[in-house]
Amino acid sequence: MPYGYVEYRLKKGISENTLKLQAIVIEQFFSYLRYKYEGKEPDIKQITEKDVRDFLDQQYIEKEFDKATVYRKQSNLKKFFDFLWETKKIDYDILAKFKYFPDDVVIKSNTTDPIEYTYEILLEKKKLVLNSKLPFTSKLLMVLYIKGIQLNDMYHLQVKDFLELPGNKIGLTYVSSLGFNAEMLFEDEKDVEILRKSIKIANERNVPYIISYKNGETKKYQQSQPMLSRYYVLQIAELIGMNVRSDEMRIVYVNYLFHNENMKHEQIAEMLGRSKENIKKLVREGIARIHPKEYNQQLELALQC
């Protein structure tokens, strides 16, 4: 463990089990730094508050850990940097006043937090975004988000994954990060317009990915990452007045398909590139979190299907 942290905390009377969990988070942080700085681990005195925020962005936005988990990771890192300051390994504690979540955010596990919107509401929010003056990337992300696509998968989508179909439709086929084939259809006129434009932009940039950014050093476009699009996601959230999280939107979408479109678990799984068991889990979680009073009567049916 870096800089003798574990030994120091053991002498303070902290249990080994607690320290094991803290050590995992710290190792994850340093692993992220090596990734961020292309294999080079920065000197401990050069690590900034932004490095920590970027790491937590990756955990919360890209890896989709819930607020409680990210808050715990933040707490562990704060303890680590407090140790570095106490032992005079750094000149000042960069996390002394650091807060990833605002004070008014209630930290609870996503597995129990209610989801206070329906898919119909999401569709209305999408119209608001697509008809707004938000950046094009925000509009593209909104189109992909409400299709239940895994966040990491969005940034791996390539031009070759999209196919023009008769009737002004676009098909999307790809292998998800879970290892399953995903196949979905875009029929909404605005969605198709956005996807066509994204493909055109990718071709003009000479990059295969439909979400890309310009590398400041090479001046060339390359595959983007979720945390690099945080600005565009925040633009969406500010406009529609709600958090934008792909895991929650996926639950809402799956439950809409199951309850409103009467689709079977197998059909939804084939559409989203997930296992049948995973879809069942999302349906059960949706029953508990989306208007639970309305869905309680359907619980038994859902569990038996």
Output the pLDDT for position 107: 65
In a domain, residue 111? The reply is no
Q: Are residues 191 and 280 in the same domain?
A: yes
Q: Are 58 and 139 in a shared domain? A: no
Domain CATH number, residue 188: 1.10.443.10
Domain co-membership, 82 together with 123: no
DSSP state of 59: I
Same domain, 40 and 173: no
Query: Rounded to whole angstroms, what are the CA distances from 58 to 66, 229, 232, 247, 298?
Result: 12, 11, 15, 14, 36
The string of pLDDT tens digits covering residues 126-185 is 999 999 999 999 999 999 999 999 988 999 999 999 999 999 999 999 999 889 999 999
Contact indicator for 183, 267 with CB cutoff of 8 Å: no
pLDDT at 1 over 60: no
Q: What is the CATH number of the domain that holds 37?
A: 1.10.150
Across 10-24, 120-134, 205-219, least confident range: 10-24
Residue 284 and residue 215 in one domain: yes
Q: Is residue 94 part of a domain?
A: no
Contact criterion met (CB below 8 Å) for 119 and 260: yes
Identify the DSSP state of 200: H
Q: What is the mean pLDDT of the chain?
A: 88
> Is residue 274 assigned to a domain?
yes
**Tokens, residue 27:** 């190792």
Condensed to tens digits (0 to 9), the pLDDT of residues 38-97 reads: 888 888 899 999 999 999 988 887 777 888 889 899 999 999 999 999 999 999 899 999
* CB of 106 closer than 8 Å to CB of 112: no
How many structural domains comprise the chain?
2
Domain holding 65, by residue range, is 2-86
Q: In the predicted model, is pLDDT for residue 109 greater than 60?
A: no
Within this chain, do residues 65 and 146 fall inside the same structural domain, yes or no?
A: no
**In this structure, is residue 109 part of a structural domain?**
no
Least confident range from 14-23, 122-131, 244-253, 278-287: namely 14-23
212-247: string of b/e by CB count within 10 Å (b at 16+)?
bbeeeeeeebebbbbbbbbebbebbeebbeeebbbe
66 and 180 share a domain?
A: no
Tally of CB atoms within 10 A around 56: 22
C-alpha span between 23 and 25 (Å, rounded)? 5
Contact (CB, 8 A) for 295 and 259: yes
Query: Mean pLDDT across the stretch 245-268?
Result: 94
Residues in Cβ contact with 235 at an 8 Å cutoff, skipping those fewer than 6 apart: 134, 135, 138
Give the global pTM: 0.71
Which stretches does DSSP call E strand in the chain? 162-165, 169-175, 181-186, 212-214, 221-223
142 and 67 in one domain? Answer: no
Q: What is the mean pLDDT of residues 30-41?
A: 86
218 and 293 fall within a common domain:
yes
Q: At what angle do helices 136-145 and 189-205 cross, to 10 degrees?
A: 120
Same domain? For 212 and 64 the reply is: no
Which of 28-32, 93-97, 99-103, 207-211 is the least confident region?
99-103
In a domain, 55, yes or no: yes
